């Protein structure tokens, strides 16, 4: 870790083909003179009002990335152009004149607030020009800039220069390039003076990957291997000893008998950054595949598998075995569940815990201590794989899975093929849950993950218009287990859902809920059933359906019961299933949902329009069959006549 990467390698790892630097500031602060002095290495006698774009060759600075410098005018009529240039910039050089204090004050009163108003995320280099004219009695640059940098954290660095005396002119643009290729903001919190959490997580993962013997420390051999991998140069024994000595003097726990600990590894990187050697940490991160957001690069986690809308990805048995091992490794107290702290530790090498927010946060069953069982753990991975395979794979890699994308997932067969073959090989089923507000949809999801109304506090209630997921393992009568994912569709979202032609493609079964003591609730469920069935018929993504009569413990609405029974019979699906979540009488609903999903050719509702189309097709097919049979008879007749005529001619 004492070396630096080669220039060519550094540019390649940064992923930038060029850096665009825009120079802004008050009139007369020396913007154009600065650009000319850099390009010609001499002070210009006659300076144009605005310089044309100036390009520095790739070999001008060690990182070997070409720089394009854009000079700007600060006149009011040129403001739209200045804004456009700033928005297209990789870095901004903001100038003031060392001999004109008013231009320094304008940094805080106008320029920096204006850049914030534009919501620019680019680093800013503040440059004091005309250093040769600065009054020696003035306070130092550090004293002047400290309060400004405290208020405007986007300032990467400050520097003074003189175009006339050729003092620190190249350094201005070296720092601008460096701020783009090796930015501080993603790595280091200037206010807290510490590594940022995402940087710590990435470095922790790298440390674990390099700790080959898994003893919690990098030995001299492992440190040398790390150095060669990142910087293509070995460390001498004296260099390794020197690194460990520096760490041990400042942080005794940073080194132990086995070598450099994780604490020491992180301390070294914080030290490099504090000393301005950000390129060292960035080289390490980029060698291990991280981008400027400190996430694995897209090309490393891209999904190479093509699939149809009605195909999904499922975890392979290899990955399930890996996840079982990870679960057991982090179940420190061996209670068969991962407590929130244990789960945070498991994901401590990922940019963040992917399950800390919706839709994953409360999607699986937890015990009274908030612990996640193995089944719940695997179910959440199944849900993430269903919704976002690339993110699922990325997090597998973050927690240590060594395999390729293709070894992590298997592609399911198309659902329309499953219907034709009248069977499915899927292990994960997604069920859309429809129904009117207050019909009992949410209670079903809660009961599926063991957080029914009896176990749930009022403060836990979610907004009724939000989309929810619940996932769990379902044991079938034959002893096999399948993963079921319930997706609650808010009543108000149905129209937008069905506006997408492929919206039902990922759905294995749809359930329509109604409050059995509320006639209106049934009418809404019926309307939704017809809408979904019609959409399936029109798009070819037909879905098996079930009707559920909820709140069976209350007084029944006879008309709703009769109507729902008649509609289910007319549409060719199972009669409504009565359940009572309150009495915990669920009528084996989850097994029944999975059973319907496993027989994708059955329980598909048919609308009146669908029946008419089917009858028309059958009539058309029969007509074509009659025509084809008639044509065949005619052909046979013609052939027979020809044989007869030939025989008659030969006999005569």
119-176 pLDDT, tens digit per residue, is 998 999 999 999 998 877 677 788 888 889 888 988 988 999 999 999 999 999 999 9
> Which DSSP string corresponds to 566-602?
HHHHHHTSPPPEE-BTTTTB-TTHHHHHHHHHH-TTS
Over residues 83-111, mean pLDDT: 95
Please name which of 12, 15, 21 lies closest in space to residue 179, comparing C-alpha atoms.
21
Q: How confident is the model at residue 364 (pLDDT cuts 50, 70, 90)?
A: very high
Average pLDDT over residues 285-298: 94
Please, are residues 258 and 216 in contact by the beta-carbon 8 Å criterion? yes
How far, in Å, CA of 437 to CA of 368, rounded? 29
pLDDT reported for residue 624: 62
For 522, residues 6+ apart whose C-beta sits below 8 A from its C-beta are: 514, 515, 516, 557, 560, 563, 564
Calpha distance 502→519 (Å, rounded): 31
Q: Is the peptide bond before 359 cis (omega within 30 degrees of 0)?
A: yes
- Average of pLDDT values for 619-629? 61
Task: Please tell me the predicted confidence (pLDDT) of residue 635.
Answer: 56
Mean per-residue pLDDT over the chain, rounded: 89
Q: Report d(CA 226, CA 283) in Å as an integer.
A: 12
Mean pLDDT in residue range 298-303: 86
pLDDT tens, residue by residue, 454-482: 333 333 344 455 679 999 999 999 999 99
Numbers of helices and strands, H then E, in the chain: 25, 21
| Residue 652 predicted with pLDDT over 70 | no
Q: Give me the percent of the chain exceeding a pLDDT of 90.
A: 73
Question: Which residue is listed with tokens 């002119």?
Answer: 169
Closest by CA position to 313, among listed 414, 376, 384, 389:
389
User: How far is the C-alpha of 398 from the C-alpha of 193, rounded, in Å?
Assistant: 26
Is the separation of the CB atoms in 568 and 574 below 8 Å? yes
DSSP 555: P
pLDDT given at position 8: 40
- CA 441 to chain CA centroid, Å, is 28
Most confident range, picked from 193-207, 458-472, 573-587, 631-645: 193-207
Tokens 């089923």 -> residue? 429
Start-end of H helices in 162-307 = 169-181, 197-210, 220-231, 237-250, 262-274, 278-287, 298-301
pLDDT score of 181: 92
Region 443-452 average pLDDT: 86
Structural tokens at position 347: 């994901």
Residues 527 and 495: their CA atoms lie apart, in Å, by: 12
Q: What backbone torsions phi and psi does residue 130 show, to the nearest 5 degrees?
A: 60, 45
Q: Which range is most confident: 284-288, 304-308, 619-623?
A: 284-288
More confident: 543 or 610 = 543
pLDDT of 630 over the 70 cut: no
Euclidean distance between the first and the last CA atom of the chain, given in angstroms as a whole number: 109
Query: Which residues lie closer than 8 Å to 545 by C-beta, 6 or more apart?
Result: 509, 510, 511, 512, 529, 532, 533, 571, 573, 603, 604, 605
Q: What is the mean pLDDT of residues 326-333?
A: 96
Among candidates 130, 202, 120, 186, which has minimal Cα distance to 161?
Answer: 130
pLDDT at site 123: 92
C-alpha–C-alpha distance, residues 348 and 87, integer Å: 35
User: Measured between alpha carbons, how far is 123 from 480 in angstroms, rounded to an integer?
Assistant: 57
Predicted local confidence at residue 14, as pLDDT = 54
Do the Cβ atoms of 215 and 258 come closer than 8 Å?
yes
Q: How confident is residue 393, by pLDDT bands cut at 50, 70 and 90? A: very high
Residues 6 or more apart whose Cβ sits within 8 Å of residue 470:
363, 364, 445, 446, 448, 449, 485, 486, 488
pTM of the shown model: 0.83
- Inter-helix orientation angle 278-287/169-181, to 10°: 30
Q: How far apart are CA 111 and CA 608, in angstroms?
A: 68
Q: Give the pLDDT confidence of 41-86 residue by residue, as tens digits.
A: 888 888 888 999 999 989 999 888 999 999 999 899 999 999 999 9
Question: Pick the residue with more confidence: 464 or 254?
Answer: 254
What is the rounded distance in angstroms from the CA atom of residue 63 to the CA atom of residue 12? 9
Q: What is the distance, to the nearest Å, from the Cα of residue 219 to the centroid of all Cα atoms in its chain?
A: 35
pLDDT at 545: 97
- Which pLDDT does position 583 carry in this prediction? 87
Q: Give which of 484, 480, 485, 303 is closest to 409, Cα–Cα.
A: 303
DSSP 78: G
């Amino acid at each position: 870790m004492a070396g630096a990467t080669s220039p060519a390698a550094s540019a390649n790892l940064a992923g930038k083909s060029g850096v665009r630097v825009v120079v802004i500031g008050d009139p007369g602060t020396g913007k154009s003179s600065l650009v000319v002095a850099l390009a010609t290495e001499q002070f210009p006698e006659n300076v144009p009002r605005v310089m044309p774009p100036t390009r520095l060759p790739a070999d001008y600075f060690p990182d070997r990335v070409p720089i394009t410098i854009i000079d700007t005018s600060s006149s009011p009529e040129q403001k739209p152009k200045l804004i456009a240039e700033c928005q297209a910039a990789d870095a901004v050089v903001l100038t003031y004149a060392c001999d004109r204090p008013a231009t320094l004050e304008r940094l805080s009163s106008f320029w920096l607030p204006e850049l914030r108003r534009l919501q620019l995320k680019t680093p800013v280099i503040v440059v004091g020009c005309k250093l040769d004219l600065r009054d020696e009695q003035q306070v130092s640059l550090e004293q002047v800039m400290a309060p400004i940098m405290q208020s405007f954290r986007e300032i990467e660095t400050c520097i003074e220069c003189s175009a006339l005396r050729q003092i620190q002119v190249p350094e201005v643009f070296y720092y601008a390039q460096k701020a783009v290729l090796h930015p501080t903001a993603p790595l280091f919190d200037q206010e807290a003076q510490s590594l940022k959490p995402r940087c710590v997580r990435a470095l922790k993962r790298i440390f674990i990957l390099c700790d080959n013997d898994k003893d919690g420390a990098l030995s001299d051999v492992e440190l040398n291997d790390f150095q060669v991998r990142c910087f293509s140069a070995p460390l001498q024994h004296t260099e390794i000893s020197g690194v460990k000595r520096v760490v041990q003097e400042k942080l005794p726990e940073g080194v132990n008998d086995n070598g450099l600990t994780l604490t020491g590894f992180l301390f070294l990187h914080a030290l490099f950054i504090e000393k301005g050697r950000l390129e060292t940490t960035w080289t390490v991160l980029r060698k291990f595949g991280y981008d400027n957001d400190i996430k694995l690069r897209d090309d490393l986690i891209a999904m190479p598998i093509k699939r149809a809308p009605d195909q999904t990805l499922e975890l392979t048995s290899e990955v399930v075995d890996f996840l079982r091992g990870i679960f057991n490794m982090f179940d420190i107290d061996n209670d068969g569940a991962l407590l929130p702290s244990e789960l945070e530790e498991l994901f401590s090498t990922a940019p963040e815990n992917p399950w800390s927010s919706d839709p994953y946060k409360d999607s699986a069953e937890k015990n009274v201590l908030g612990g996640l069982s193995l089944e719940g753990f695997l179910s959440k991975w199944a849900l993430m794989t269903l919704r976002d395979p690339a993110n699922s794979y990325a997090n597998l890699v973050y927690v240590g899975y060594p395999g390729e994308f293709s070894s992590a997932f298997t592609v399911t067969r198309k659902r329309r093929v499953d219907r034709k073959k009248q069977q499915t090989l899927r292990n994960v089923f997604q069920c859309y849950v429809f129904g009117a507000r207050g019909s009992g949809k949410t209670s079903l999801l809660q009961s599926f993950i063991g957080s029914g109304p009896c176990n749930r506090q009022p403060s836990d209630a979610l907004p009724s218009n939000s989309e929810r997921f619940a996932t769990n393992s379902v044991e079938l009568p034959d002893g096999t287990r399948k993963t079921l994912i319930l997706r609650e569709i808010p009543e108000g979202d149905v129209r937008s859902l069905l506006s997408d032609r492929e919206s039902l493609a990922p759905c294995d079964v749809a359930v329509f809920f109604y409050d059995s003591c509320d006639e209106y609730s049934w009418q809404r469920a019926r309307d939704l059933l017809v809408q979904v069935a019609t959409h399936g018929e029109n798009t070819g993504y037909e879905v098996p359906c079930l009707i559920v009569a909820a709140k069976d413990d209350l007084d029944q609405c006879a008309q709703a019961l009769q109507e729902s029974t008649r509609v289910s019979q007319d549409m060719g699906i199972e009669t409504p299933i009565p359940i009572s979540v309150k009495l915990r009488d669920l009528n084996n609903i989850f097994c029944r949902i999975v059973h319907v999903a496993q027989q994708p050719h059955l329980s598909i509702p048919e609308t009146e329009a669908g029946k008419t189309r089917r009858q028309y097709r059958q009539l058309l097919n029969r007509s074509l069959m009659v025509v084809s049979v008639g044509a065949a008879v005619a052909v046979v007749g013609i052939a027979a006549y020809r044989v007869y005529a030939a025989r008659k001619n030969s006999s005569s």
